[in-house]
Structure 1
Amino acid sequence: MDVQVVDYTVADAPEKFVESLRETGFAVLTNHPIQQQLVESIYSNWLDFFNTEAKHDVAFDPEKQDGYFSPDVSETAKGHTKKDIKEYYHIYPWGRVPAELEEEIRGYYQKASGLAGELLSWIEANSPEEVKAKFSEPLPNMIKDTPNTLLRVLHYPPFTGEEEAGAIRAGAHEDINLITILPAANEPGLQVQLKDGNWADVPCNFGNLIINIGDMLQEASGGYFPSTSHRVINPTGGAQENSRMSLPLFLHPRSEVQLSERHTQHSYLMERLKELGVI
């Protein structure tokens, strides 16, 4: 089964959406509530920010993990040795945001977080009873008033020809959180690994909304919902001259939420951040 494109407004959208998540770890929504005009404005305004030296004035805090991450301190995907070719900015409810960008990005954070609550209710409602029984509390409740949900504004810069051999924009990885909400980027490149091991392009028409399962929901569901590997491949031809902007919202439960017998949100997050080498 390939990743399914689901019309958010149709009556059986929840069932189709959850079926795609169950089979591939990914689903794509059309006709969803996130306004494309808002996403385009965010991409434009933050690209301007990444093209200034002011970004270094809000360099990331190693303890709090908010602020600007330069390419030099960017992530190395688990199991990889080369850093991803990207820079990004971390936004938390309590974190720093440049004043001229704050109102718009905070508004998006709230809107996308609200939609995430609805989608988590779809997931729970369409889970087997034995899976629902594993959840320590209703899935939408896990993210209520959480300080941990992370909005990452990502910039994959144009290629210069000086990139490290073998490095790609985002190495194959799985997300740590419950679910991720991602407006389609302004450039293609996102791929998911299917059950047969092959890589497939995620439908990324500008305006699509991409949702994928993270490790925490895989953990909480006893493996019923798969956290699947995905990556962002390098552009070719003239596309190498283009910046790629991306806006994943990583939905995290409150720190004390029990995911399974072995992990709370906090213990799981710390384990994974150490593996990534960012703490």
Structure 2
Amino acid sequence: MKLEAVDFNAPDAAARFVESLRNTGFGVLKNHPISQDLVASIYTNWQEFFNSEDKMGFRFNPETQDGLFPSDVSEVAKGQQKKDIKEFFHYYPWGQCPDSLKDEIQDYYDQANGFAQQLLSWVETHSPEEVSARYSQSLSSMIDGSEKTLLRVLHYPPMQGDEEPGAIRAAAHEDINLLTILPAANEPGLQVLGKDGKWLDVPCDFGNIIINIGDMLQEASGGYFPSTTHRVVNPQGADMSKSRISLPLFLHPKPDVVLSERYTAHSYLMERLRELGLI
């Protein structure tokens, strides 16, 4: 199995992208409309934020889940025992954010959401008829106006050598949401678990955008689109001294959206957040 970047402007981009999602759970796009300069600036400015003590003034609100999640409360992936080696900031347009970073991160949030609606339309267009029949409404309308779509600014700090044995930057996990939109990070490390049980490096060329399926799309499609297990491995050698910034946008439907006979988007999210120990 090999993951190849699809040219966003190619005539068959939609079909090739959805085929990649179906076969691997991931799609990689190049020549897309998201501003690379904006992404690069966000990486630089948020690195400064994570390096400062000012960040502690934005500790997360347990009820609304916005703000800084420091490393001591980092997630334990479902089915894992050790905390991930990371800290992160949850950005919502309605939530807390440093004033100096607000305009830029909101600009990206808006661009990425518009892009995401197009990608969800691609997924729906290329879903078989029996799968499309399962969707309670169009996939793009599920996120239209949603206040639950989450932009997470992730900081994987340099390795110190005293990390807990067996802990990695992000243990093997699946995402909760419909799709995750992720600009290639400033350092490698993202891997996806192939159908053959082997880990595959995800292309991390700067300028690519990486998209993966989450559990909610798997649920809504009756399993046709598989939620993909992925992880972020620890760097080796000289790269151990480098931070890694990552900027995933998790596309969450509005709470009352019906995913299946078993779940609304809200009930599914609450179940998973309890499993992760975040509520």
Same fold (TM over 0.5): yes
Unaligned runs of 5+ in 1: none
Separation of aligned partners in 2, 1:118 and 1:2: 24
* 1:66-117 CA-partner distances (Å, limit 9, x unpaired): 0000000000101111100001000112111110000000000000000000
Separation of aligned partners in 1, 2:256 and 2:2: 35
1:24-173 correspondence runs (5 A): 24-173=24-173
Number of residue equivalences: 279
SS of 2:228's equivalent? coil
How far apart are 1:220 and its partner, in Å?
A: 0.1
| Comparing 13-22 and 156-165, the one that deviates more | 156-165
Separation of aligned partners in 1, 2:55 and 2:186: 21
SS of 1:181's equivalent? strand
Separation of aligned partners in 2, 1:145 and 1:207: 27
| Counterpart for residue 183 of structure 1 | 183
For the 8 Å contact 1:2–1:194, the answer to whether it is kept is no
SS of 2:266's equivalent? helix
| Counterpart amino acid of residue 65 in structure 1 | Q
| Counterpart amino acid of residue 169 in structure 2 | R
| Counterpart for residue 199 of structure 1 | 199
| Counterpart for residue 251 of structure 1 | 251
* 1:214-260 CA-partner distances (Å, limit 9, x unpaired): 00000000000000100000000000000000000000000000000
Question: Which aligned runs of 4 or more in structure 1 are off by greater than 4 angstroms?
Answer: none
Separation of aligned partners in 2, 1:3 and 1:215: 21
For the 8 Å contact 1:7–1:31, the answer to whether it is kept is yes
Separation of aligned partners in 2, 1:103 and 1:92: 12
RMSD: 0.6
For the 8 Å contact 1:22–1:226, the answer to whether it is kept is yes
SS of 1:153's equivalent? strand
Separation of aligned partners in 1, 2:29 and 2:212: 11
| Counterpart amino acid of residue 153 in structure 1 | V
How far apart are 1:52 and its partner, in Å?
A: 0.6
| Counterpart amino acid of residue 269 in structure 1 | L
| Counterpart for residue 233 of structure 1 | 233
TM-score, L = length of structure 1: 0.99
> Between the two proteins, what is the percent identity of the paired residues?
66
| Counterpart amino acid of residue 132 in structure 1 | S
* 1:5-52 CA-partner distances (Å, limit 9, x unpaired): 100000000000000000010010000011111111000000000001
Separation of aligned partners in 2, 1:248 and 1:197: 25
TM-score, L = length of structure 2: 0.99
| Comparing 158-167 and 39-48, the one that deviates more | 158-167
Separation of aligned partners in 2, 1:84 and 1:57: 22
How far apart are 1:212 and its partner, in Å?
A: 0.4
